[in-house]
A and B are shown apart, each in its own frame.
Chain A
Amino acid sequence: MTEIFNPSNLVLNYFVATLLIFMGIYGMASSRNILKLLIGIEVASKGCMMAILTAGYALQKINYAQALIILMVGVEVIVIAVALSLIIKNYIQRHNVDAWKLKKLKG
């Protein structure tokens, strides 16, 4: 147990990354608010970034990990921007941000 909480041992980082991914997935599963779903995606992606970073550090390929994270951040921003614009458009038409009411969209 004490081995895990030693920062020089990177197990702590993997542990935190796994917890962040779990929190993100829990947040997505437990909320009907579409904005909250997006925040859950963001928190989970922070966990993924932490895992990539730690793997790069452990394998002494930190620059490779940095390149992957930079590309990931770019894609993340685009995904969030498009999703938020969809939310605003949905709100203008239906006046709510409830994910369950999106089923009215079915053809």
Chain B
Amino acid sequence: MIEYIILITLLLVSGAAAIMFKNMLYAAMGLAVCSIMLAFVMFKLNAPWAGVFELSVCAGLITVLFASTVSMVKTDKKYFVQSKMSKYLPLAVIIFGLILLSFGKPFLTVLMAEHKAHVSQSVGDIIWNVRFKDLIAQLAILVAGVVAIKAFFGKHSDEVEEKK
């Protein structure tokens, strides 16, 4: 029980750190720690497949993408505009949390009311049979993403003509 509360606290602190750090590399690291903590929470809530994906893709791949982008983009302070509002994040979170504790409890408990037994299928069955259309849509998004990146960085015909 105490471990779970520590996990949840670290999740919130690392999420806040990711937003508050001025150095973008540290912010990316904060995001990675946030993903790792969320993966542990997933393991605790009997969701190992989601935890593995979160750990490998979000904590691994996305952090690498962020770190490589930060290294490509100049880290001069002039180019990294940071609003003063970021400093007040903890205060804003505390105020929002208190409001949520005071007025939001009926909304937070609404899903608990429908607690009922359900014969569950395996994750594979759900992805391949029940959510197959989502899988097709995801594939379409993947192809669109690849085409977009190719369009951004590929050589255009006018550039090739200029070189000639």
Task: Given A30-B86, A59-B111, A60-B116, answer yes or no on A69-B54 (Cβ-Cβ < 8 Å).
Answer: yes
Q: Which B residues form the contact surface with A (CB < 8 A)? A: 1, 4-5, 8, 11-12, 15-16, 18-19, 24, 27-28, 31, 34-35, 38, 41-42, 45-47, 49-50, 53-54, 57-58, 61-62, 65-66, 69-70, 72-74, 79-83, 85-86, 89, 92-93, 96-97, 100-101, 104-105, 108-109, 111-112, 114-118, 120-123, 126-127, 130-131, 134-135, 138, 141-142, 144-145, 148-149, 152-153
Residues of B within 8 A of A84 (CB): 65-66, 69
Are the CB atoms of A26 and B92 closer together than 8 Å?
Answer: yes
Contact of A70 among B50, B72, B92 (CB under 8 A): B50
Main secondary structure on B side of the interface with A: helix
Main secondary structure on A side of the interface with B: helix
Are the CB atoms of B5 and A23 closer together than 8 Å?
Answer: no
15 further contact pairs, Cβ within 8 A, besides A19-B100, A85-B152: A15-B97, A19-B97, A23-B12, A43-B18, A57-B45, A58-B114, A60-B118, A62-B45, A66-B49, A67-B127, A70-B50, A74-B141, A80-B65, A82-B149, A100-B81
